[in-house]
């Protein structure tokens, strides 16, 4: 499969490094554009080349600062539409606001749906994303959504690193069982589950460990790590049940606040992440290993561009 001259790849401000990796794999240049901020913080975007009749791919994680990155994306989509792009395919490695996917209490918004509405109204043709926090977000869009999986990338790393007969994969909550089972299948390893409750946002309490982890090297897997509170309390509970070394992994390293410092001082031996979110230098510690998802996203772009099946990438 090849790229035609109609394919144009553009990066916004959230993750230029990842965009450049994807462009290099596809052997296409990144499109020329500029994103500027006025003194009152309004955003101005200029597309500095013709995109008329082109198949455009925009790369933007809606990570911190989420609101700024979302507005950049919306304005760029609108600019592409007004510049007569034939299609506007939006690559969102990390979809911000995904944890606000339902009404947990009375009078709460469903912000993940609002973001989907904004992106669609702006003029997007297709979404390519990675490990949505809630799978139902795919249904918030009335356009094609390709949700890729980071588990195979993470599992391949551990397959080379740890003897599989000594490994057990652990889901940190009920919602992560499917993800843990997928990794366990790839590694041919058993799984266990942390039973927890969350009395308020960013606070969790481990109630029980379901499964035998004694004498095993544990791989804790989650879709994202934010404050790392859940991760560290789970690691402590697992060691209390006789687990040997604790490894952790996630697709999306949100790592807000003091998360990196907490991981650094914890009993976790290594945290393996993907580069779905740009990790600033001050957060790049020895305990954290970052794997690139650029080949996965480049493959998705190539398949969409050539009208080939993308479903093989979901497996």
Residues that are catalytic: 196
Note whether 100 and 109 are within 8 A (CB): yes
Residue 14: which residues within 8 A CB-CB, separation 6 or more? Answer: 60, 61, 62, 63, 69, 72, 277, 278
Q: How many CA atoms lie within 13 A of 156 on its CB side?
A: 9
Tell me if 100 is assigned to a ligand binding site: yes
Tell me if 227 is assigned to a ligand binding site: yes
Tell me if 99 is assigned to a ligand binding site: yes
Tell me if 17 is assigned to a ligand binding site: no
Tell me if 222 is assigned to a ligand binding site: yes
Dist CA 24 CA 32 (whole Å): 15
Tell me if 40 is assigned to a ligand binding site: yes
Tell me if 195 is assigned to a ligand binding site: no
Note whether 143 and 88 are within 8 A (CB): no
The token pair at 275 is 């580069």
SS (H, E, C) 266-296: CCEEEEEEECCCCCCHHHCCCCEEEECCHHH
Tell me if 173 is assigned to a ligand binding site: yes
Which residues, in sequence order, are bridge partners of residue 91? 59, 128
Please enumerate, by residue number, every residue annotated as part of a binding site for Mg(2+).
133, 173
Please enumerate, by residue number, every residue annotated as part of a binding site for ATP.
40-42, 99-100
Please enumerate, by residue number, every residue annotated as part of a binding site for D-ribose 5-phosphate.
198, 222, 226-230
């Amino acid at each position: 499969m090849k790229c035609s001259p109609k394919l144009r790849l553009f990066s916004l401000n959230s993750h230029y490094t990842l965009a450049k990796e994807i462009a290099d794999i596809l052997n296409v240049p990144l499109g020329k554009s500029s994103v500027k901020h006025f003194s009152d913080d309004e955003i101005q975007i200029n597309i500095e080349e013709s995109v008329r009749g082109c198949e455009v791919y925009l790369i933007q994680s809606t990570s911190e600062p989420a609101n700024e990155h979302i507005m950049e994306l919306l304005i760029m989509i609108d600019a592409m539409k007004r510049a007569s792009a034939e299609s506007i395919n939006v690559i969102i490695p990390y979809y911000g606001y995904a944890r606000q996917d339902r009404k947990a209490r009375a009078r709460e918004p469903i912000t993940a749906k609002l973001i989907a509405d904004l992106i669609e109204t702006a003029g997007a043709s297709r979404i390519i994303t990675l490990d949505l926090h809630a799978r139902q977000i795919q249904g918030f869009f009335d356009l094609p959504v390709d949700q890729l999986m980071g588990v195979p990338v993470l599992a391949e790393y551990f397959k080379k690193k740890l003897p599989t007969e000594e490994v057990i994969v652990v889901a940190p909550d009920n919602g992560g069982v499917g993800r843990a089972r997928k990794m366990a299948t790839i590694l041919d390893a058993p799984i266990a589950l942390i039973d927890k409750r969350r009395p308020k946002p960013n606070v969790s309490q481990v109630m029980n460990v379901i499964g035998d982890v004694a004498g095993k090297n544990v791989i804790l897997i989650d879709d994202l790590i934010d404050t790392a509170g859940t991760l560290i309390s789970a690691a402590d509970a697992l060691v209390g049940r006789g687990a040997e070394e604790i490894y952790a992994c996630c697709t999306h390293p949100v790592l807000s606040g003091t998360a990196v410092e907490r991981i650094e001082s914890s009993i976790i031996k290594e945290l393996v992440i993907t580069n779905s979110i740009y990790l600033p230098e001050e957060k790049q510690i020895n305990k954290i290993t970052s794997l690139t998802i650029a080949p996965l996203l480049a493959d998705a772009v190539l398949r969409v561009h050539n009208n080939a099946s993308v479903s093989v990438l979901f497996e």
